[in-house]
């Protein structure tokens, strides 16, 4: 099993809107690639971590499943519109993926 973590930094005062937007993504777009909101954990920075940090964690079977999910994601037209809106709430260049193998 692979644990995929995607994180970004929200702009000052925009963390709530960023979380609403990413929640909408999982509901409307992520669900089309098998990443529905009930399969993801969204956490934010608190003590000892940047308060602007938002991290989304999802478990996937393997890298092959990840590749198939991303290939399907590229075909969803709604993604481009969502991304433009989402960009208003996050610090440009702050997005990052980390992948972990569960043992």
Domains of the chain in start order, with CATH, are 2-101 (3.30.70.100)
The pTM assigned to this predicted structure is 0.89
**pLDDT tens digits for range 28-84:** 999 999 998 889 999 999 899 999 999 999 999 999 999 999 999 999 999 999 999
* Structure confidence at residue 26 (pLDDT): 95
* Structure confidence at residue 42 (pLDDT): 97
Task: Tally the C-alpha atoms within 13 A of residue 23's C-alpha that lie toward its C-beta.
Answer: 8
């Amino acid at each position: 099993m692979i644990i995929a973590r995607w994180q970004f930094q929200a702009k000052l005062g925009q963390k709530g809107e960023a979380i609403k937007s990413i929640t909408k993504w999982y509901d409307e777009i992520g669900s089309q690639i098998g990443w529905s909101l009930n399969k993801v954990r969204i956490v934010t920075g608190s003590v000892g971590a940047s308060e602007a940090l938002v991290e989304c964690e999802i478990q996937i079977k393997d890298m092959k499943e990840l590749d198939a999910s991303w290939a399907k994601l590229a075909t969803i037209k709604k993604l481009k519109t969502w991304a433009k809106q989402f960009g208003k709430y996050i610090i440009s260049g702050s997005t990052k993926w980390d992948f972990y193998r569960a043992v």
